[in-house]
A and B are shown apart, each in its own frame.
Chain A
Amino acid sequence: MSHILDANEAVASVAHRLSEVIAIYPITPASPMAESCDEWSAAGRRNLWGQVPRVEQLQSEAGAIGTVHGALQAGALATTFTASQGLLLMIPNLYKIAGELTPFVLHVAARTVATHALSIFGDHSDVMACRQTGVAMLCASSVQEAHDLAAVAHAATLESRIPFIHFFDGFRTSHELQRVEELTDDHLRQLIDEAHISAHRARALTPDRPVVRGTAHNPDTYFQAREAANVFYDACPAIVVKALERFAEVTGRRYRLFDYVGHPQAERALVLMGSGAEAAQEAVEWAVARGERVGLVKVRLYRPFDGAALLAALPKTTKTIAVLDRTKEPGAPGEPLYLDVICALSEAEAERRSPLARAPRVVSGRYGLSSKEFTPAMVLSVLSELSRENPKNHFSVGIRDDVTHRSLDWDASLDIEEPDVVRAVFYGLGSDGTVGANKNTIKIVGEETELYAQGYFVYDSKKSGSTTVSHLRFSPRPIHSTYLVRHAGFVAVSQPQLVNRLDVLELAAPGGVFLLNTPFGPDEVWGSLPAEVAEAIVERKLRFFVMDAHRVADEVGLPGRVSTVMQSGFFALSGVLPRERAMAAIRRAVEKTFRKRGAEVVERNIAAIELAAKALREVAVPAAAATTARRPAAVPAEAPDFVQRVTSMMIAGKGDLLPVSAFPVDGTWPTATTQWERRAIAREIPEWDSDLCIQCNKCALVCPHAVIRAKVYDPAELAGAPEGFASTDWRASDGATQRYTLQVAPDDCTGCGLCVAICPAKDKSSPKHKAINMEPVDGLRDRERVNWEFFKNLPEVDRRTVKNDVKGSQLLLPLFEFSGACAGCGETPYLKLVSQLFGDRALIANATGCSSIYGGNQPTTPWAKDAAGRGPAWANSLFEDNAEFGLGFRLAADAATLRARTLLDGLAAQLPEALVSGLLLADQSTEAGITDQRDRVVALRRLLRDIPGPLSKALDEAADALVKKSVWIVGGDGWAYDIGFGGLDHLFSTTADVNILVLDTEVYSNTGGQQSKATPIGAAAKFAAAGKGIGKKDLGLLAMSYGHVYVASIALYARDAQAVKAIQEAESYPGPSLVIAHSPCIAHGYDLSKSGDQQKLAVESGIWPVYRFDPRRLAEGETPLKIESGPIKARVADYMSREGRFRAVELRDKERYARLVADAERFVRERRAFHEQLAGLKVANETQQMQGAGR
């Protein structure tokens, strides 16, 4: 039976049916395998033996593999899924599991390991880091193969006893949709030999037949015992061959350890594995058809490496071989597959058993790191290199290396795809449903016709206003094109503004169709296009159609969801299916997809289809493109050189064209670059009403993107203000005559509306009008752009004069701005606040997660600098080690301070005594103290110029360390509560002066909403599809239990003054400080413009406690804990009823939900009672204690 699946689902379908225990942990791009298994088990789907597999989420991949190890030892059939850093965390256990000859399959969506940068995309650097562990490694290069080889791996591991890593390329295969012939349960039964399962169970640990495993050996025995397993490795390749043959008998699909494709007398051959082998097959077949003697070996079983089988697969005529590795091992003699091939050949030659006619010349190449495109043109370039007398070795292909000149050139314009392959490209937004509709299209065509279908989806790195590009192919033959569509006969753009941001016709093939969603009709649209688009339409003789998809979507009551409308346009114009049949098929698909969302959703989508057909209009294309405006530059002219040369290319989607020389060599990038990327994604932005404003600055406080700024300035500064620049008298308590302006950055607002919701100032005559109101951007943008530029140049406030309260904090310059976080993000306001208060002296260690992505994903990053060039210095190490990483920052900063002070001591005699004592004894607890110390450092440096010698030079270098540094350790709840908790807990046990900010969204937000130990009772999340059954971990209480840790639980919208105070106290506390921040997130499933009210309800119902625990209070005879939530005056049930994550549980099972609500209410009461008792504790001092003892 054939279905449209991606490899993650195709693999999970096999793994779930062949397992009893599934231990999971989320990591991109492998998470969907675990999610599917969790959903299926939650829905009662059974394995091959009639049981529902038990799915258990762990705190890390190390935990997942430990659980698998235990389950295997105790006799279960167990599996897990992972990638990249997750796989690296499993390595210690892989050695153990292999050493104990324990059968299981680990399915890996192979992903880049973080080096100079993190990348979520695909290559083999993770799996290659496991090749030495003793696991067998089986590689699939397509979705069908991933499905098939998953089953083969399960069969072979049981017979061979060697654990298998079954891997396929992350994203390119894991997320590619293809038509897959699905294995039935019956197929699987025929593949799996029950006798091997019995044998596995017979080896299990049981007190009924006790044995010990995991003993410790001494030099006398370890070595021999290690060699004792050799026979199993020797036997393994033959067992895999047997499993593959059995598979061919059962299904008719045949695979070998090494599959050869190409000319039977090839002279030039490629050896590679993974999805690249598919593109290589396409290129090789094309070349062979043109008479070239070339071929390709696809590696399937990579470990144990059967060199003889590899050589046997090559034609005897082979003269030159290029071994292509999708990984890089700097400093190695070559990449791993290359070394293996060299070794196999060399040994065969030495032992005179090589089947080849002559010893071939072998070269090595790298391609496709981090999902870099690997196209037939690149393959042909490699084959062409092999024709040269002295082919380049250790080359790269797919990039331009203008530094070490190792890259091969290729013909980017070459198109070898057959003309009957329908190729379509759709530009859309992550929020408009384009990807979902295209997935449906592929399902329609793939399941309704004989055509093969393929879909692959490219996302940009933003979380708000992100663009998507969908690449679709339909072909009468199986599709091996594992690369993006290069020449599209159909291009659709679902958002009118994208034509001004991206080169949307870059891929449009001559004579193709271009469909644009635009409010303009066929007569007006031409004038709205940038010249580049108009010219491309004319030059390439495109047929140009328009439709107002937004109007259709509005009319049917699905505002913004233009995807179904555009999908109808595709079927009407592309001719993939006859029109009537296509429309009927879309209707069926809509019914199928949306049925579970309800009849209303179905009806509205169907109405959209009907209306779409009527909305489609063809545009008469003029003979020549009339001169129209060019597309605006990606960055403004005043942007710095690096931004002009490098960043702008990345913003424009042309990063592939940048050569090696453009890049920093060590992953070090300039900060403050989001200011140059003017995204202009909001349809409405806030407008300030200066007459109504009470200058509370709450709007600026909550703005997640730092687009609302407040300044107080001298009236004289208004000279030269643009017309319409709003300004009003500053309501100063000291009666000073200054002006106040609240300014919006119009191009950086996401339109979330939080500022308006939080604004307390209402017009008395018309209370819906506030001091800040959302207005359509079209009427405001031009004016506010000018105003913003003027505002930026108004002087910044003197930090020494600002009060330490909500209002004062928002007069400080944010050094975290315009991030790519979601509209309405609940995390970023905290980071912005920290940046305002301490950013000019902050070091930030950021755990991997949302905050490391919106904080550090290229092309632009939001951590910024002040006029003096100071600002947060930021780095991300890993997910699991952030507490330790930040501790390292503190230790280094302290060491630098100590070095500076020591040097200062050494030079004290040559410096004014007052300056030296000032520097050494400075009180840096206030802004004034910091400023004074900075002034002293300047004075010191001036004096050092006149003091010769190395000590003086060293002090000059070290002097900045005399100014106090603020170390912030930032991460989400996945880090703090789960994977990083061990390190975090250790940090609590130290006296290090670090500030830990936990942005608690109560879910793994970045990887798509998996539960964490912070997830509250009753919430649905991935891995907790039925709703979490137990309460949230009390992280604050755990930290308080140490006694010396400052702890605060804060909620910025509900208790802003407390939050601002807590963050300042945490920073001032000279030891570890933990601040847990309530962070509304789109994974909570409600309109985040309401998150202010919802957070208030969280606090008032007690579900989110607000408190400060300051150990300093003990010395004053007070209890350290102060509860600041106020009395409980709302019901937990009301709080829960307003968020989709809870509602999803209610919709699924009302009775369970009612129980969970009751449990949540009890949980809240009990926690509150416990906290109150803690807050009421009186600690007797020593004298009182002695007196008590005396009595």
Chain B
Amino acid sequence: MYKIVSAIFLAENIKKIEIEAPRIAKKRNAGQFVMIRVGESGERVPLTIADSDPEKGTITIIVQGMGKTTRELNSKEAGDMISDIVGPLGAPSHIEKFGTAVSIGGGVGTAIAYPTAVALKKAGNYVITINGARSKDLVILEKEMKEVSDEAYITTDDGSWGFHGFVTQKLQELIDSGKTIDYVLAIGPIPMMRAIAEVTRPYHIKTVVSLNPIMVDGTGMCGGCRVTVDNQTKFACVDGPEFDAHLVDFKNLSDRNKLYLLEEKQSSDAHVHVCKLNKTV
């Protein structure tokens, strides 16, 4: 069992959870993830590590309540236990001094873009961050992103905070302004990552995305997380999760992620029903 040290909401439905996991805290690098099983009948879900404190022996994850498991996680408070956490898994982000590096996070993807932005800064890059959300109240890690950036931008779909529009438009604007960009990291919903890839493709800017396919073990044993990259099958859990955005078959990823839509809805509805019952009682 692993103890939750702190759990606070960053925005509606998005929670920052710090968990005791000394081995993982010691070894973890930017870009890596953990598999979590909340309880005994739980599924194993991959979540990227947002931060770690090797001294304290804790890691931090940022979770958006989407399906049953993530909502169950988000209902946890400091002092609660979770059954299993394993990691750090996946290959660490490839970090070097590229020159000017843009780290783009869409929604809860910002939680993953953040540690890589920190690592890019440490490696001596001029770091630009673009932090996108649907609206102002869903913007997370604004302060942290700003601290690590040479230039920090917020975009909201509804214009309630920062730049009115999508992260892709902001990126295009930066390119159009004549800025030399050597490296782009984009993490967020699949349509966003695919759109970013199309923005940078004509300029041949090296662009990396972190993929989120369905996983079971997360250690290379099952092949459920296979993705098509450069027309080859890769396992996101051991070969990734970061890949060259210009070579990823996003359509295949998006299709494969729909595999359990029916079951996810069934689980989720049942969970909401139970939660409502609990509240009523």
Answer yes or no: are A and B bound together in one complex. Answer: no
